[in-house]
Chains A and B, each alone.
Chain A
Amino acid sequence: MFKAELSDSNILKSSFDAISSIVDEVQIQTDSEGMRLDALDRSHITFVHLELKLSLFDEYVCDEPEKINIDTDELMKVLKRSKSDDRVIMSLEEGNFIITFEGEAKRQFKIRLIDMEYENPTPPDIEHPTKFEVPFSLLKDSINDIEIFSEKISLKVDSEKFTANAEGDFGDASVEYIHGEKIDTEASSLFSLEKIRQMLKADKFSDIAIIKLGDDMPLNLTLKMISEDGELSFLLAPRIETDD
Chain B
Amino acid sequence: MIKTKNAYLKKLTDKIQMKSVKIGKDLDGSTPPSVFIGRWSYPKVYAGPMMVPEVGDTSIMDTPELWIDEKKTQEDIINYRMNLVRGKQLMKVDELDNPFIEKLQDISLASKSIESEATFKKRPQGSLLSEDSTPHGPSGLIQKFDIDAVKWDKQLEKTFYDTDLKASDAVINLHQKEVPFSAMQKAFSVGAIGTKERRKLVPTRWSITACDSSLANILLKKVRQYPILDTHRVYEFSSLNNYYAVILLPTEWQYEWMEAFIKLIGKEELIFSDYETNEGKKEYSSVGGCFYTCKMSVLDKLAEEKKQAGVIVLREAYSGYVPLGVFNVRENIKYAMNNKYKEFETLKNAVEYVSTKLKIPIHKYIKQSDLLDELLHHKQTTLDIYFKKGKT
Contacts and interface: CB of A to CB of B under 8 A. Distances in A.
Given A43-B382, A45-B382, A124 B377 contact: no
A227 interface: no
Contacts of B382: 43-45, 237
Contacts of B370: 169
A240 interface: yes
Interface stretch (B109-117, B240-248, B383-391): B383-391
Given A119-B390, A194-B279, A240 B378 contact: yes
B225 A45 contact: no
B277 A44 contact: no
A18 interface: no
A179 B329 CA distance: 53
Interface string A183-199: 00000001010100000
Given A119-B390, A194-B277, A40 B378 contact: no
A126 interface: yes
Contacts of B379: 239-242
In the complex, which range does the number of interface residues on chain A fall in? 20 to 34
Contacts of B390: 119-122
A42 B228 contact: yes
Given A241-B377, A242-B376, A126 B278 contact: no
A239 B387 contact: no
B348 to A, nearest CB: 9
B132 interface: no
B381 to A, nearest CB: 5
A190 B387 contact: no
Contacts of A235: 383, 386
A47 B383 contact: yes
A126 B386 CA distance: 8
A192 B377 CA distance: 14
Contacts of A239: 378-381
Most buried by B among A40, A152, A190, A243: A40
Most buried by B among A43, A47, A124, A235: A43
Contacts of B94: none
Contacts of A230: none
Contact of A44 (B225, B376, B384, B392): B384
Contacts, number: 69
Contacts of B380: 45, 192, 237, 239
Interface in A41-65: 42-47
B251 interface: yes
A241 B279 contact: no
Contacts of A45: 380-383
Contact of A40 (B251, B374, B381, B383): B383
A145 interface: no
Nearest to B390: A121
A239 B381 CA distance: 6
Given A40-B387, A44-B387, A124-B387, A238 B228 contact: no
Contacts of B269: none
A218 interface: yes
Nearest to A152: B378
Given A40-B383, A43-B251, A194-B279, A122 B378 contact: no
B275 to A, nearest CB: 10
A137 to B, nearest CB: 22
Nearest to B370: A169
B252 interface: yes
B378 A190 contact: yes
Contact of A122 (B278, B279, B381, B389): B389
B378 to A, nearest CB: 5
A24 B222 CA distance: 12
A151 B380 CA distance: 12
Contacts of B277: 151, 194
Interface in B339-392: 370, 374, 376-384, 386-387, 389-390, 392
18 contacts: A40-B383, A40-B387, A42-B252, A44-B387, A45-B380, A45-B383, A47-B387, A119-B390, A124-B383, A124-B386, A151-B277, A151-B374, A190-B378, A235-B383, A239-B378, A239-B379, A240-B379, A243-B377
Interface of B: 225, 227-228, 251-252, 277-279, 308, 370, 374, 376-384, 386-387, 389-390, 392
Given A46-B383, A238-B381, 15 more contacts: A42-B227, A43-B228, A43-B252, A43-B382, A44-B387, A45-B380, A45-B381, A47-B383, A122-B387, A194-B277, A235-B383, A235-B386, A237-B382, A241-B377, A242-B376
